[in-house]
Amino acid sequence: MVKLTIDGKEVEVREGTNIIEAARRLGIEVPHYCYHPGLSIAGQCRLCMVELGNNPRPQIGCNTQVAEGMVVRTDTPKVLETRQSIMEFHLINHPLDCPVCDQAGECWLQIYYMKHGLYEPRMVDEKVHKPKAVPLGSHVILDAERCILCSRCVRFCDEITGTGELGIFDRGDHSEIGLFPGRELANPYSANVIDICPVGALTDRDFRFAVRVWYLDTAKSICPGCSRGCNIEVHVNVRRPHHNQGRRVARLKPRFNAEVNRWWICDAGRYGGKFVDDASRLGAPARGRGEAAIEVGWEEMIPLIASQLRRYRPDEIGVLASPNMANEDLFLLRRLVDHLRLIHVDFRVPPRTPGDEDRILIKADKNANTRGAELIGLGPRPGGLDAHGMLRAARERRIKCLWVFHHDLLASAWPEAEVGEALRAVECFIYQGSNSNGVSTAAHYVLPSAAWVERDGTFTNFEGRVQRFWKAVDPLGLSLADWEILGRIGEAFGLGAPPARAEDCFKALAASAAPFAGLSYRELKDTGKVVAA
Partner 1 sequence: MNARGAVKVEFTPEQLVEVRRLQGLYPDRRAALLPVLQLVQDVFGHISLEAEEYVAGLFDLSPAHVHEVVTFYTLFFREPKGRHVISVCHNLTCHLLGAQQVLTHLKKRLGVEVGGTTPDGRVTLLSVECLCACEIAPMLQVDDRYEGNLSGEKVDRILDGLA
| Chain positions contacting partner 1, by CB under 8 A | 158, 163-171, 178-183
The C-alpha torsion from 110 through 111 and 115 to 118, rounded to 10°, is -20
- Of 169 and 271, nearer to partner 1 (C-beta) is 169
Q: Which is nearer to partner 1, 58 or 137 (CB)?
A: 137
Q: How far is the CB of 164 from partner 1 (least distance, A)?
A: 3
Nearest residue (CB) to partner 1, 158 versus 357 = 158
Using the minimum distance from each CB to partner 1, give the nearer residue, 159 or 338.
159
Q: Which is nearer to partner 1, 186 or 304 (CB)?
A: 186
Complex with partner 1: residue 63 or 163, whichever CB lies closer: 163
* Shortest Cβ 166–partner 1 spacing (Å): 6
Secondary structure class of 253 (helix, strand, coil)? strand
Between residues 182 and 290, which has the closer beta carbon with respect to partner 1?
A: 182
Q: How far is the CB of 295 from partner 1 (least distance, A)?
A: 55
Task: Report CA-CA distances (Å) from 145 to 13, 81, 131, 499.
Answer: 39, 25, 7, 55
Q: What is residue 170's three-state secondary structure?
A: coil
Per-residue buried b or exposed e for 521-532, using 16+ beta carbons within 10 Å of the residue's own CB: beebeebbbebe
* DSSP structural state of residue 334: H
For residue 347, give the nearest of 326, 316, 364 by alpha carbon: 326
Rounded distance between C-alpha atoms, residue 185 and residue 138, angstroms:
8
Output the smallest distance, CB 167 to partner 1, in A: 4
CB 403 within 8 A of CB 317: yes
CB of 348: closest distance to partner 1 in angstroms? 41
Min dist. Cβ of residue 159 to partner 1 (A): 12
CA distance 206 to 494: 48
Bridge-based pairing of strands 2-6 and 71-73 is: parallel
Choose between 145 and 176: whose C-beta lies nearer to partner 1: 176
Cross-sheet strand order for the sheet of 202-204: 134-135, 140-142, 202-204
With H, G, I as helix, E, B as strand and everything else as coil, classify residue 78: helix
Nearest-angstrom CA–CA distance, 177 and 183:
13
CB of 194 to partner 1, least distance (A): 18
- Smallest gap, in angstroms, from Cβ of residue 184 to partner 1? 12
Rounded Cα distance between 224 and 231, Å, is 10
